[in-house]
Structure 1
Amino acid sequence: MSRQHKETERSYEGALRGPISAAGLPGVASVRTGTTQRLDAVYFDTPDLRLLRRGVTLRRRTGGPDAGWHLKTPQPDGSRTETRLPPDGRRNRPPAELTARAAVHARGGRLDAVAHLRTRRDPTLLLDEGGCTLAEIDRDAVSAGLIGPGGTTSGAADWTETEVEAATAGPRLLDAVEERLLAGGLQPSASGTKLGRALHDRLAELPAGAPAARPAGPDAPESAGDCLTACLRTHVAALESLDAAVRLDEPDAVHRMRVHVRRLRSALAAHQRLLRKGSVDDIDDELRRLGRILGRARDAEVLGRRLTTGAADLPPDLGPRTTCELLETVFRDRYETAWRSAVQEMRRPRYFALLGTLEDLAADPPLRGRARRGRREAGKVLARQRKRTARRLRAALDLAPGHNRDEALHRARKAAKRARYAAECTEPLLGKPARRLAQRTKRVQKALGAHQDGVVGERAVRELAAGAPHDVAFRLGVLHARQRRDADHHVAVAAKAGRKLGV
């Protein structure tokens, strides 16, 4: 099982002569010299170094207190998340879990050994009054060789560097140590990592890769375009961060990724007048396709949970336990089939191409001139979405109960969701009006979502009952009758909430 921890470290070229003193270092009561370590690490990457170009490193290391497999990924605050797995006896292929976690960065490329680094590490520990380690200063003598096709090693290079890694220390101590090191003649490392230094020449020959840290939206947006840009960057980053969780089938991962896909589509649709005409049509098509693929797994998960919960409330003489077991088996199989299909799709070039396109979109959205306008333009976006929701809900409520009304209510629900997402997107600029619209449309969305769950549940039970043994069909018939028992209530709640939208 993997372990994760947050790593905050700084690297410097060269090493101080002589010991470092605790004097003047905030919170440091004493300094202790640690035991010399000899570290041997093989790093893995794609032939075109896709991991390294995104600030990611994957290695197998022996020696030291944390021998094993390590995957390090950069975070927006400058730290890195390190995922560790213990040694497994394999030398040439990374573990499946780390391969899955690195897939979004490798973009489908094969991971092979690219460098072999040997390090002699002489650590110095900075301790507080209780003897606990605040930070560690490591003097590293490094010997690096490049690994080419067939495992041949060449291009050996040697250098000395200093690493400072926080244990419990904050930026204040790290800044003080840095001041001491710079005064001693050291310079911040140009590469940031040992692997980056070892592969510097090879890296320089390759085209620029995606940035390790994507730009964030403005802290205080001044225009409708600023709001859209920040929204796109937030959800693209979130979608990519969930890639590994979906591949590893972590709880709720499929649902969360699907939500971010939907939010991206909603943002593009609601703000289409701010974007150059036709500039995001292909992106929307690809997002819709990905959403449908993820939706098959998510729908099986949600529907199975709903029907199993309902079956548990059946009368004792209808065998609620047996019915629950039947439903759990059916929908577990459906979920696993759909999840495997989704992961298979996420291994294809088409999926990785979409991620690259989304990164480009978030970095530089194709905004029109009107996107530079402020509150008034953002207000127009919300007004259009509010009216669209009210119009669809009004049309649905005018229909007689039946299939057509169910479909119309579902369309109204999707409109309410888009309006809600647009309001949340513009809230940093518009404040209370956007927050109020988000709350109102969320009420409509939630009520109509409960109604739609009943419609889908009814349809699913009917399909399951067709051709089932008589006793099973009878139990499912009772469950079928219960799917829509609260339908009128949900519609009434949506209608009441809709009146504040102008319905």
Structure 2
Amino acid sequence: MKIQHEVEATYALADDTVVPDLLLLDGVQEVRQQPAFSLTAAYFDTADLALLRSGVSLRRRTGGVADGWHLKVPAGGGRDEFHRPLGRSTATPPKPLRDLVAGWVRGEPLVHVATVHTDRTPSLLLGADGLVLAELTDDRVTGSTPEGETVAWREWELELVDGTADLFDSADQVFAAAGVHRAEVSRKVARTLGDRVPPAPRLWMPAADEPVSRLVHARLVEQVDVLGRRDVDARRGTDEGVHKMRVACRRLRALLGSFRPVLDREQTDPVRDELRWLAGVLGQARDAAAIHGRLRDLLADEPRDLVHGPVLGRLRSVYEGRGKDEVLAALGSQRYFDLRDRLDQLAADPPWTERAEASARDVAPKVLHKEFKRFRRRADAAAADEPEPALHEARKAAKRLRYAAETVEPVAGKKARRLDRAAHHVTSHLGELQDTTVSRSELLAVAQVASEAGEPTFAYGRLHALDEARASTLIAAFRVRATVARLKARTRKARKALRRT
């Protein structure tokens, strides 16, 4: 499957607007007009437009140089575009693309919802040494629905090729002088369907003296959206996608836990339980990839004459792809679809308690204090208990504190960011310690399998000793009192910032 990332801006203009001198754009030294051509795209979605409501589009396009099925998913500052060949069917998207959108579609049929015809005149914008910075297309568009409704307009699309986002700022200024501005609706299919595509939920910018519900709601909507976007990467089996989706689960669980006083627990606690289940499934695949990478790195640093037997091959056979089938099974289950439905409902209409009307200034400092105390209790326990298991619990508490700091950052500003960074330093340090704990346990199991296969096991013992030594170093370097004091100071300053804002 071909994948590319696109970053573009759409501009609305009158039918008789003249294209300004494009050499006025910063860095553009040559404009090379390309032959005009026509495109026709048929868009598919559920009856209630689940894809479009999430910023996703699925189309079958003919004409130009990119004939085929295209799936566009929001990613970063732009969109990831997945391509598949046209094939024979004109009414059924290819299965690989249907699989990628399953988290949004959730079993509903995909139907034809709109057709967009575009007469396109492209121009390449070149910089120094003939480098193509961007492509500007002058599009005359006609959109139609299966019911026979049509709408026509003209627009420009400026898409980066090898240029930087600064080009958009320059284009905004040059085009504004010609009376052209960014389009309110950037997607052609959304403009075709008009008010059938509901607007994104309006979220108020949270402030300290306003209800804490605004702060929590903004974070909730953000992380539900992140989980949906990472679903696609997890389905593709990318290690980063699985990891990021697991992190989104953790952030949502932490949010619903830290801000329990403002949310109806009868509705949110079951969702937290299901998020724990999903994070656990994702964690099996993520941990296997992390362990595999760690052991490969350790092995690469070993003298070759000390690595006996097919160690790399054995590690590959044990860890490569482990947990991925379970992830796909979970993401295709009704249990997962039900969870996504409940998360969408939470984001659309959170079950607030009366406490949600209290100001962020009143509620958020108490949340930070509560999460810091949780960390302090567990860190203190680590000083008097088995260090590795206790420090793992302290690490989880530090993550909760960090996620709480992320949530209040829109109100507390740089003080919350500093708390976030301090907590992240703790979780990174203790995270490596946890990696050594897991890898040592895994090495014993892998060595047993290798031994039963008649393979040398000396290298596994070497790696185990290296990780054991690294664990001792990490434990010795973790100063409980100093760490608690540092996070206490950062938490106190973030709380003060919330009260003073």
TM-score normalised by the shorter chain: which range applies? Answer: 0.7 to 0.9
Change (3 A) 1:366 1:179: same
* Structure 2 SS opposite 1:442: helix
Match for residue 303 of structure 1? 291
Mapped partners of 2:227, 2:284: distance in 1: 18
Q: Please point out which of 346, 354, 361 is paired with 2:331.
A: 346
The alpha-carbon deviation at position 361 of structure 1 amounts to: 2.2
Q: Which residue in the other structure is 1:269 paired with?
A: 257
CA-to-aligned-CA distance 1:243-270 (integer Å, 9 cap, x gap): 1111122351111111121111122222
Single out whichever of 40-49 and 377-386 deviates more from structure 2: 40-49
Post-superposition Cα deviations, 1:192-248, rounded to whole Å, max 9, x if no partner, equal 866567767xx96xxxx8x56344562655454443333223322222221111112
Partner of 1:165: 157
The Cα shift of 1:281 comes to 0.4
Offset, 1:378? 1.8
Equivalenced residue count is 465
Contact 1:385/1:418 (8 A) holds in 2: yes
Letter in 1 for 2:370: R
Out of 456, 460, 468, the residue aligned to residue 476 of structure 1 is 460
How far apart, CA to CA, are the structure 2 residues paired with 1:488 and 1:42? Answer: 61
Q: State how 1:114-129 maps to structure 2 within 5 Å.
A: 114-115=113-114, 121=119, 123=121
Match of 2:439 in 1: 457
Question: Which residue in 1 is equivalent to 2:499?
Answer: none
Matches for 1:336-415 after TM superposition, within 5 Å: 336-371=321-356, 372-399=358-385, 401=386, 405-415=387-397
Task: Give the alignment partner of residue 445 of structure 1, picking from 427, 431, 448.
Answer: 427
Q: Look up the equivalent residue of 1:139 and give its one-letter code.
A: R
8 Å Cα contact 1:254/1:294 also seen in 2? yes
Moved more, 341-350 or 222-231: 222-231
- Once the 2 structures are TM-superposed, how far is the Cα of residue 362 of structure 1 from its aligned partner? 3.0
The 1-side partners of 2:403 and 2:222 are apart by: 13
Is the 2:60–2:69 Cα contact (8 Å) retained in structure 1?
yes
Aligned to 1:279: 267
What displacement does 1:482 show? Answer: 3.1
Question: What letter matches 2:7 in structure 1?
Answer: K
Amino acid at match of 1:99: R
CA distance in 2, matches of 1:313, 1:84: 38
- Taking the aligned partners of 2:478 and 2:225, their CA distance within structure 1 comes to 33
Q: CA shift at 1:84, angstroms?
A: 5.8
Q: Write the deviation string for residues 8-53 of structure 1: whole angstroms up to 9, x where unpaired.
A: 33568xx84xx54468999599x99986644333332234443345
CA contact (8 A) 2:371 2:400 kept: yes
- 1:58 matched to which residue of 2? 58
- Structure 1: any 5+ residue segments left out of the alignment? 147-154, 181-187
Deviations 1:412-446 (A, max 9, x none): 22112211221232233334654454344334333
1:237–1:199 CA distance, 2 compared to 1 (3 A): closer
Gaps of 5+ in 2: 160-166, 490-501
For the 8 Å contact 1:382–1:434, the answer to whether it is kept is: no
Which SS does the other structure have where 2:456 is aligned? helix
Cα deviation, residue 358, structure 1: 2.0
Report Cα offsets for 1:47-75 as digits up to 9, x if no partner: 44433454543222222454333334568
Q: Based on CA coordinates, which of the two structures has the bigger radius of gyration?
A: 1
Q: CA RMSD in A?
A: 4.2
- Please report the TM-score for the alignment, with normalisation by the length of structure 2: 0.77
| 1:11 to 1:312, Cα distance in 2 relative to 1, 3 A | closer
Name the amino acid aligned to 2:332.
R
- Give the drift of 1:282: 0.9
Residue 102 of structure 1 aligns with which residue? Answer: 101
Distance in 2, matches of 1:344 and 1:24, equals 54
* Aligned mates of 2:399, 2:178 — CA distance in 1: 51
Determine if contact 1:454/1:483 at 8 Å carries over to the other structure: yes
The alpha-carbon deviation at position 123 of structure 1 amounts to 5.0
Residues in 2 aligned to 1:173 and 1:34: alpha-carbon distance in whole angstroms: 21
Structure 1 residues 491, 163: CA separation in 2 closer, same or farther (over 3 Å shift)?
A: same
Indicate conservation of the 8 Å contact 1:312/1:321, yes or no: no
Tell which deviates more after alignment, 165-174 or 301-310. Answer: 165-174
Question: Which residues of 2 match residues 203-282 of structure 1 at below 5 A?
Answer: 211=198, 213-216=200-203, 218=205, 220=207, 222=209, 224-282=212-270
Q: Distance in 2 between matches of 1:179 and 1:482?
A: 63
Map 1:17-32 → 2, pairs under 5 A: 20-21=17-18, 27=24
Q: Is the CA contact (8 Å cut-off) linking 2:84 and 2:94 kept in structure 1?
A: no
CA distance 1:248–1:302, shift in 2 (3 Å): same
Task: Report the TM-score, using the length of structure 1 for normalisation.
Answer: 0.76
Offset at 1:293? 0.6
Q: Quick one: which amino acid aligns to residue 105 of structure 1?
A: W
Check the 8 A contact 2:206/2:214 in 1, yes or no: no
Tell whether 2:110 aligns with 1:111.
yes
